[in-house]
Amino acid sequence: MKIIINKASIKILGILAFVVIVGFTIYQSTLVQEEKQLIIGTWVINGENTNKWIFTFNNECKWELDGIINSEFIYTIENSFSPSGLEHTTLKLTTVSSNVSEVGEITQYGINGLGEEEMILEYNNGIGISYTHFTKQ
């Protein structure tokens, strides 16, 4: 059986592929969009008043400890879906400059909770899961 493909068919398939790729790239869930807005600001780790994470509108994050910037990151918030259909969001930090870690190092946190005044990040260190609680300044 011989399949005949003409130029018009190739053009249509190319345009369709382009639209699908752009659509997936641009689309972000409502949850991700909301969390990108909520995370902006200065967050203090509960019980450690001098340990702050500062998130800006231009996807930069600074880790300040005792008034000194120890690390700077580019951050992204991404989503995934569990097999049961629940949406989960992840905070991904890529180190830009640091006194304590390698430039380019990527650290991921599950966003366990993010509201107007409180944030809970989940981190799996390979041995177990830890939770860090933050309050917005």
117 touches 135 (CB < 8 A): yes
- The rounded percent of the chain whose pLDDT value lies above 90 is 68
Name every residue whose Cβ is closer than 8 Å to that of residue 14 and which is 6 or more positions away in sequence: none
In tens, the pLDDT along 63-93 reads: 999 999 999 999 999 998 889 988 999 999 9
Tokens of 38: 């909520």
Q: What is the pTM of this model?
A: 0.76
Residue ranges per structural domain of the chain: 29-136
pLDDT tier at 100, thresholds 50, 70, 90: confident
Domain boundaries 29-136, CATH class: mainly beta
Q: Is 104 helix (H, G, I), strand (E, B) or coil?
A: coil
